[in-house]
Amino acid sequence: MSILLEHVMAPEVRPFAIAAAMILIVGSIEVISMLVGASLSEMLGTTVDFGHPSDNGVINAISWINVGGVPLLIFLLLLLGAFSITGFLIQDIARMIAGPLPAIAASIGAVVVSIPLVRATSGAIARVIPKDESYAVGLGDLVGRVGEVVIGPLDQGPPGRVSVADVHGNRHFVWAVAAPSSSPLPQGTMVLLVDRAGTRFVAVKAEDELKPPKSSLSS
């Protein structure tokens, strides 16, 4: 155990060990924040629009790397993970050939390898995870749409999740709470999104005439 710890904390691999530790720290914060009804990914993941050009060069660079437009928190974890893994691999290979590289040289190599790896991975992940926001429509366009409570009940406390389709038929999974005058809305309830504050929507029970047909929901 001590040998492994010495290997991980050696100066030539310290940047990659720090990156791995940051993954654990950020993941722990996300789990804790979700338990108290918040979400770090909610606060970070929808603050940057990766789908449109920006005057900010950093955002444009992130947009190019994060080709799938995954939430910012997931993108950061991917970047840290790729940097850490490739860095350790570079140093292990270097040890077998001649000896470990300087930490700066290994870090540069890890960044060069990580960028195309993260770009490919983000595109693959984006195809299989639901998104809080589409870049074809803004969150504001979902106000007035009818959806179904998929994680609930919705009340005036911690937000739940609502599945709602936009005008193009694309389905989104958004955070929502019940309106102040509303009773709790259990899972499976059809709700009308009447307002939003940031990335959280305010929902009320949908009237029967607003509910879409069952065939529309299943699709």
Averaged pLDDT of the chain: 78
Stretch 61-73: mean pLDDT: 70
Residue pair 99/127 in contact by the 8 Å Cβ criterion: no
Residue pair 194/203 in contact by the 8 Å Cβ criterion: yes
Residue pair 30/40 in contact by the 8 Å Cβ criterion: yes
Single out the residue of 165, 167, 194 nearest to residue 178, CA to CA: 194
Q: Where are the alpha helices (DSSP H) in 36-102?
A: 40-45, 57-65, 72-97
What is the C-alpha to C-alpha distance for residues 100 and 96, in angstroms, rounded to an integer?
A: 9
pLDDT at 85: 93
What is the C-alpha to C-alpha distance for residues 68 and 72, in angstroms, rounded to an integer?
A: 11
pLDDT at 199: 77
Question: pLDDT (tens digit, 9 = 90+) per residue, 89-109?
Answer: 999 999 899 888 999 999 999
